[in-house]
Structure 1
Amino acid sequence: MATLIKDARILDGERLISADILIEAGRIKGIGQHLNRDFGPADQVICADGHFVSPGLVDVHVHLREPGQTAKETIATGTLAAAHGGFTTVGAMPNVVPVPDTPERVAAMVARNQKAAVVHVAQYASITKDRTGSELVDFAGVKRAGAFAVSNDGSGVQTAGTMYQAMCGAAKAGLPLAAHVEDDSLYQGGVMNAGPVADRLGLPGINNVSEAAQVARDVMLAEASGVHYHVCHVSTAESLRVIRNAKQAGINVTCEVSPHHLLLTDTDITMDNPMLKMNPPLRSPKDRAALVAGLLDGTIDFIATDHAPHTDAEKAGSMRTAAFGITGIETAFATMYTAFVKPRLLSLARLIELMSTRPAELFGLPDAGRIAVGAAADLTIIDLTHDYTIDAASMYSKGHNSPFIGWQVTGDVLMTLVDGQVVYGKDRQK
């Protein structure tokens, strides 16, 4: 069956141009004008009404919680939330129960994803068994089973020897290693950024060096091992300085930043508020300024949400006891577009590069992040003019633990297609 998307606006370099898109057998067959004349009538026509059609967004850092934590999220709800946010490919972190730390468990996760997901799910394996300790996974085996990368996200690898051997194994298998950088001996049970705000609120702090020290250690190990070393959710000026220097030295290091670290700081925490508790924490205004500068100068490679849903009960009470993490996949595009494209800090083309093209390129997802003849028809139709208020009732994720509820934003996802099939439409009933 052929589907024609009419009256679309797509990016041609930095320009938006008018074009129709013809889809057949899940792939893009034609782009341009007068496609009916060139290819014949389509079986289905979707009118984009002059709205922006983007390559499907790509988020390589999400927590789908299934199996083992399905009160928080499931593959079905998490990937529908992704589609609602305009994402057509997500990378599922391995902190589920059981951890995908063997080829058999990875293969089972891949099969589970394929059965339940409405978008493409790239599956992480863990770095170590059960994401703890020093026993490494079978890197070649988990790759054969379908893992696209390895990570212990949620836990830092604590010893240099373990990390070095892991990097050597991942490099040999051709797997990127995505690191949650956190030195437990420096972390010391904090719940928010260390500094004047934490002191005023009487809450234990997490200092910058607990992150930056592991980044500094790891870039040297990455240079020695030759691995593609990726820093998850970078949050401090010091970490970014190390990454910038490592890139200048030719080390194969990349990094991501989460929207909340670009938009919020610890000064936004005016009271003991668990909705603002995440790991890494919201940092100082100085750190946020460094992250924005790193995004603008290209030191930061792309944006990833760290979508981390929790139940209402887990995010209630005090920051001392509530779970770390916030949702983000349904709000990422609109908050980034509103904060960076509308005031012309970034172009629309650059934002799409950061949220689609670059993560796909760097993590070896060749069918994602592009609109081209022959490419997968993973597409998102977005109204770039619609202003609205983010509200929990419109969310598809089980988790409503978002600090962005109530924000006024611009940029509304109208429709998301995966392999040419509509998986989210604003006019469909939730």
Structure 2
Amino acid sequence: MKTILKNGLVYQSGKLSHQDLLIEDDKIMALGQNLSELIPEARVIDVTDKLVTPGFVDVHVHYRDPGFTYKETITSGSKAAAHGGYTTVCAMPNFDPVPDDAQKVANMVQRNRADGVVHIKQFGSITKDLVSEELVDFAGLKKAGAWAFSNDGKGVQTAGVMYEAMREAKRLDMAIVAHVEDNSLLYGGVMNAGKRAEELGLPGILGISESSQIARDLLLAKETGVHYHVCHLSTKESVELIRIAKAHGINVTCEVAPHHLLLNEDDIPGNDGYYKMNPPLRANEDQDALIAGLLDGTIDMIATDHAPHSIDEKTGDMRQAAFGITGSETAFPLLYTRYVKTGVFKLEQLLDWMSYNPAQTFGFDQAGILLPGRQADIAVINLDQAEVLQESDYLSKGINTPFTGQTVWANTEMTFVSGQLAYQKEAKA
């Protein structure tokens, strides 16, 4: 089967240009002008002036399957990813049972392949059941198909455990992907420890619960040489620590979540569970530091931390609500609308942070770039039409996002995964 995407605004190797793109079976076969005249038998899809970009790569999603399928399933989560323009995602291990042995990882790899509509890479855990200090069989998990190791949702509390985990990961040429959080500094907090928490009478989460563990881990990473990747940076101190570590040659990369770029504690309207996330929305100066960190290269990529929950779990008092916000379906349009249309980011930068950079950082050699011979993982996005984010349009089971109702630009019209249409926007009556 041959398909031509005709006259799109193609993002290729750092540049935007109007071209045709030929898909044959699961591969990109050619880019150029007037391909439909050269290949008259191909099906032609007119995408004039629409953005044709490498499918986005999200190294941080939660699919809740098995164990919590009322929140999300592999199928619903991956459909949501395709709706957002993502073609490769990396599923965190905090479901039940935790993929902490080879058989469990192998089962998840098979299920992800069978039930997902995008490419799903599976994390293995660092320790048994995420909360213990017993290390997993790293070599066994790698052989079973784990692509990296993380205890996301839980910080590794003991330096010695993290040190030994890093040594094993380095030996296997694998990455440690860390949720950084010192439990002894949480004090039962539900939002950032700052003026807004005081106004609302809610317990706060100290920024040093994040930055202090990053400081510890950076020294361990220097000692071991492991690729150490920090999840969802949220404080200015964390950004500065990463900046210094990179200057000293430590093998560290990091990500920021869309909600930390888009919101800060001053945007929390009241005691509303939809604004409860971990790490929490920080102060305005932290938000500014995250934006600066992206622009100067300290922060390598944007990852959603897509964390679906049921309505009951997110409604009401923040003290009882679950931590988490969805992001797969809203990340690109929200960031494009807020930062590209206002001139803060260039479109090319945003595309790299969401596709090329994560693919390059983690060696996903078929993702993040449109080239002949590469896998046909492609998103087609309409940059020129505004839409209102509506719960009825979400494909995720989770609707726990405070961005619903906002008007955004740059909505996905089609997503191809290995040349197959994984998402197509339905025409509204």
What's the TM-score bracket when you normalise by the shorter of the two chains?
Answer: over 0.9
1:298-337 paired onto structure 2 within 5 Å: 298-337=297-336
Give the equivalent residue in structure 2 for 1:227: 226
Give the equivalent residue in structure 1 for 2:273: 274
Give the equivalent residue in structure 1 for 2:120: 121
The reply to whether residue 26 of structure 1 matches residue 34 of structure 2 is: no
Q: Runs of 5+ in structure 2 lacking a partner?
A: none
Letter matched to residue 243 of structure 1: I
User: 1:378-413: CA deviations, max 9, x gaps?
Assistant: 000000111111111110000000011111211111
SS in 2 for 1:131: coil
1:8-407 paired onto structure 2 within 5 Å: 8-12=8-12, 15-38=15-38, 40-407=39-406
Instruction: Tell me how large the CA RMSD over aligned residues is.
Output: 1.3
1:3–1:42 CA contact under 8 A, matched in 2: no
User: 1:350-386: CA deviations, max 9, x gaps?
Assistant: 1110000010111121111110011100000000111
- Name the stretch that deviates more: 155-164 or 289-298: 289-298
2:12–2:369 CA contact under 8 A, matched in 1: no
* Cα distance in 2 for residues equivalent to 1:270 and 1:3: 48
- For these two proteins, the number of residue pairs brought into alignment is 429
SS in 2 for 1:215: helix
* Cα distance in 2 for residues equivalent to 1:97 and 1:428: 38
2:389–2:404 CA contact under 8 A, matched in 1: yes
1:27–1:419 CA contact under 8 A, matched in 2: yes
* Cα distance in 1 for residues equivalent to 2:48 and 2:77: 28
* Cα distance in 1 for residues equivalent to 2:13 and 2:168: 39
The reply to whether residue 425 of structure 1 matches residue 424 of structure 2 is: yes
Instruction: Note closer, same or farther for the CA distance 1:428–1:168 as it changes in structure 2 (3 Å cut).
Output: farther
2:218–2:250 CA contact under 8 A, matched in 1: yes
SS in 2 for 1:54: strand
SS in 2 for 1:19: strand
* Cα distance in 2 for residues equivalent to 1:138 and 1:180: 20
1:11: how far off?
2.3
1:36: how far off?
3.9
* Cα distance in 2 for residues equivalent to 1:362 and 1:428: 37
* Cα distance in 2 for residues equivalent to 1:84 and 1:248: 38
2:126–2:165 CA contact under 8 A, matched in 1: yes
SS in 1 for 2:5: strand
* Cα distance in 2 for residues equivalent to 1:160 and 1:120: 34
User: 1:38-69: CA deviations, max 9, x gaps?
Assistant: 4x334422221321100000101000110010
1:82: how far off?
0.3
SS in 2 for 1:321: coil
TM-score (norm 2): 0.98
2:13–2:369 CA contact under 8 A, matched in 1: no
SS in 1 for 2:129: helix
2:11–2:54 CA contact under 8 A, matched in 1: no
Letter matched to residue 50 of structure 2: H
Instruction: Note closer, same or farther for the CA distance 1:304–1:375 as it changes in structure 2 (3 Å cut).
Output: same
1:143: how far off?
1.0
Q: Runs of 5+ in structure 1 lacking a partner?
A: none
* Cα distance in 2 for residues equivalent to 1:158 and 1:428: 50
* Cα distance in 2 for residues equivalent to 1:315 and 1:17: 43
SS in 2 for 1:385: coil
* Cα distance in 1 for residues equivalent to 2:427 and 2:421: 10
* Cα distance in 2 for residues equivalent to 1:94 and 1:41: 47
User: 1:266-324: CA deviations, max 9, x gaps?
Assistant: 11113101000000000000111111111111100000000000000111120000000
2:36–2:42 CA contact under 8 A, matched in 1: no
* Cα distance in 2 for residues equivalent to 1:32 and 1:204: 58
* Cα distance in 2 for residues equivalent to 1:13 and 1:105: 38
2:7–2:48 CA contact under 8 A, matched in 1: yes
2:12–2:370 CA contact under 8 A, matched in 1: no
Find runs of 4+ consecutive structure 1 residues off by over 3 angstroms.
12-15
1:261–1:283 CA contact under 8 A, matched in 2: yes
Letter matched to residue 300 of structure 2: D
* Cα distance in 2 for residues equivalent to 1:262 and 1:306: 13
* Cα distance in 1 for residues equivalent to 2:400 and 2:393: 13
SS in 2 for 1:8: strand
1:13–1:349 CA contact under 8 A, matched in 2: no
2:221–2:251 CA contact under 8 A, matched in 1: yes
TM-score (norm 1): 0.98
Letter matched to residue 166 of structure 1: A
Q: Percent identity?
A: 54
User: 1:204-246: CA deviations, max 9, x gaps?
Assistant: 0001100000000000000111110000000000111111000
1:383–1:414 CA contact under 8 A, matched in 2: yes
Letter matched to residue 183 of structure 1: D
